Amino acid sequence: MSFPLPTYQGQTPDPHAATKDAVTVWKTGKIPLVEIFYSLQGEGGRVGQATVFVRLAGCSLACSFCDTDFRVKRALSIEEIITEVASFGCQWVCLTGGEPTLFDLQPLCDALHAAGFFLQVETNGMHPRPEWRLDHVTVSPKETEGGHIKPWYFSHATEFKYVVDDDADILRAKNSLFPGIIYLQPNALNPAATPLCIAAVQAHPQRFRLSLQTHKLLEIP
Ligand code: SF4
């Protein structure tokens, strides 16, 4: 079944329009995607590992620092996704967005696991999906989270990753209820953010680690 993918005007994603289009695709039985691509994980604890990224369309937030186009570009079945992912010959798959947990991807996760893949998810942590079987859960609480991280993530996440602009973001990370390793990732658009992160990591070496967007430094996807 083919879906008439929307034609967008302009460059700035409108989260409401993108999510509405993604939901429309979802209701046809297809999975709304932006793209599937093969690269290295550039951030967090899996940095440097070859990974196939499956980017879901739609997002529940509108962060000021957002650098991601989360508009619907493709509509694929689970089988079509697995065929494309398998073509790269890599074991790790990262479900990212936008916000991938807007949709119940359990059938996709089950199918990917059955095909032998390991799964990472990158989420803002605001939508509980505890039934998914995942191998690496990265929660990146956002500026507009309003304290609405779902409790499940505090006990099940592999890592938390905070994008840092200023001292308030460092304080948010310090006050996180997540007991494990927290990555501080400077907003790439703000040169003042990196020294703040370095100072915080040095002050709290057991709690914080620095995460750089190494894929951007390397100019790879
Ligand atoms: S949650 Fe991520 S994709 Fe969504 S607006 Fe914020 S930075 Fe962009």
Q: Is 66 a catalytic residue?
A: yes
Range of the domain at 37: 15-217
User: 84 with 76: CB under 8 angstroms?
Assistant: yes
Stated as kind and residue range, the H or E segment containing 160 is: strand 159-164
Query: Of the candidates 108, 37, 24, which has an alpha carbon nearest to the alpha carbon of residue 71?
Result: 24
Q: In this structure, is residue 31 part of a structural domain?
A: yes
CA-nearest residue, atom 3 of ligand 1: 98
Alpha-carbon distance 177 to 3, whole Å? 42
Q: How many domains does the chain have?
A: 1
Alpha-carbon distance 98 to 75, whole Å? 15
Q: In this structure, is residue 24 part of a structural domain?
A: yes
Q: Is 143 a catalytic residue?
A: no
Q: Is 122 a catalytic residue?
A: yes
Q: In this structure, is residue 3 part of a structural domain?
A: no
- pLDDT above 80 for 27: yes
The arithmetic mean of pLDDT across residues 180-194, rounded, is 93
Cβ of 62 closer than 6 Å to ligand 1, yes or no, is: yes
Strand partners, 33: 56, 74
Q: In this structure, is residue 7 part of a structural domain?
A: no
Q: Is 94 a catalytic residue?
A: no
What is the whole-number distance in angstroms between the Cα of residue 100 and the centre of ligand 1?
A: 11
The fraction of the chain above a pLDDT of 90, given in percent, is 75
Q: In this structure, is residue 4 part of a structural domain?
A: no
Q: In this structure, is residue 1 part of a structural domain?
A: no
- The pLDDT assigned to 3 comes to 43
Q: In this structure, is residue 5 part of a structural domain?
A: no
Per mean pLDDT, which range of 15-19, 37-41, 161-165 is the poorest? 15-19
Please give the structure tokens belonging to residue 37.
Answer: 């691509």
Q: In this structure, is residue 115 part of a structural domain?
A: yes
Alpha-carbon distance 61 to 58, whole Å? 9
Instruction: Please report, for residues 95, 130, 150, 218, the alpha-carbon distance to residue 36 in angstroms, rounded to integers and kept in the order given.
Output: 10, 24, 27, 19
Domain at 136, CATH number: 3.20.20.70
- The pLDDT assigned to 10 comes to 40
Mutation to probe ligand 1, out of 60, 63, 148, 189 (largest number of atoms < 8 A from CB): 63
